[in-house]
Amino acid sequence: MTKALVSVPKTARRGDIIDIRAMIAHPMETGYRMGPNGVEIPRRIITRFVCTYGGEEVFFAEFFPAVSANPFVSFSLIASASGTVGFEWTDDQGQTESASAEIVVT
């Protein structure tokens, strides 16, 4: 996997609803295409995305072959405490990519 981009507000007030955005650069090969040599390109897709906030899982998604390349996820959280928002993507070969961002809640 390659580069992950995440968007988390740097600050928020306790109780605010905040928007979280995450994207990862990944080709998402379905296993149904043929390569230039006539051989099937092996399947390689992201199968799971997990977001944690303060060490607890707050959002997850399972992906399937119909998801486009470079999957983008957007969701909302309630700002409850300062801490780390963690992101982890796992593909069907077991490789993971992670990213994190800090948020200060006042």
Strands of the chain (E only): list them.
4-7, 11-12, 17-24, 46-53, 56-62, 72-78, 83-91, 96-105
- Is the pLDDT assigned to residue 65 strictly greater than 90? no
List of domains in the chain: 4-28+45-105 (2.60.40.10)
pLDDT digits (tens, 9 = 90+) for 27-58: 888 888 898 999 999 888 999 999 999 999 99
Q: Which residue has the tokens 């801490």?
A: 83
- The candidate with the shortest Cα–Cα distance to 7, out of 78, 77, 82, 101, is 101
Report the predicted TM-score, pTM, of the whole model to 2 decimal places: 0.89
Q: Which residue has the tokens 């959280």?
A: 77
pLDDT digits (tens, 9 = 90+) for 4-33: 999 999 999 999 999 999 999 988 888 888
Longest CA–CA span in the chain (Å) reads 58
